[in-house]
Chain A
């Protein structure tokens, strides 16, 4: 069974631009969560989607948004990029009501210059 895939793996953008990251969950998984990893803050929860609906949201500004498609694939968008948005963005998928055990993709490394 294929794992969680994320594209692109690396991205360089300029301040003020916007970016869209993509995540394909493991087949059969309906929940997709997004996390931001930075050296100082560790892994921080962005939001979680299930059946095309945002079910949970972390404490991030409205510049961070996402969506989920009917095939469970998810995209995350960051508008008006800031230098502090440079991070590793991780996507994780799981079954509907799984407790804790999420399966992570390799991440997208975003650098904002």
Chain B
């Protein structure tokens, strides 16, 4: 029973363009959402987060949008760079240090 779904396993984007990664969740009671990035042979690294009281959070080239009515989360990367090529996981926090992750989207930024 996947509580967090990333329906696109992969995404390819030209360098300099916008990358949009999507995530859907099932439980409207979730109140904290996160994005992690993972390179091969490394553990995931925290990227950006948003609480349910907001609908947008921005950090440099990364912006996360939350649509609570649609139970949808998205990550925008502008402009995309080749170094952004990685697997991106969305996650929800359901309790103290308890994260549910999606299955990930592999982003490839083409130079």
A residues engaging B (CB < 8 A)? 4, 31, 33, 35, 40-45, 48, 50, 55-56, 58, 90, 92, 94, 97-107
Contacts and interface: CB of A to CB of B under 8 A. Distances in A.
Contacts, number: 73
> Could you tell me the dominant secondary structure of chain B's interface residues?
strand
11 contacts: A4-B43, A33-B98, A42-B89, A43-B44, A43-B89, A56-B95, A90-B43, A94-B97, A104-B36, A104-B45, A107-B43
Interface of B: 6, 32, 34, 36, 41-46, 49, 89, 91, 93, 95-104
Contacts of A41: 103
B60 to A, nearest CB: 16
Given A56-B96, A104-B44, A99 B49 contact: yes
Contacts of B102: 42
A42 B101 contact: yes
Contacts of B42: 106
Contacts of B100: 45
- The list of the 8 closest CB pairs from A to B, nearest first, reads A104-B43, A42-B103, A43-B101, A56-B98, A100-B34, A31-B97, A101-B46, A104-B44
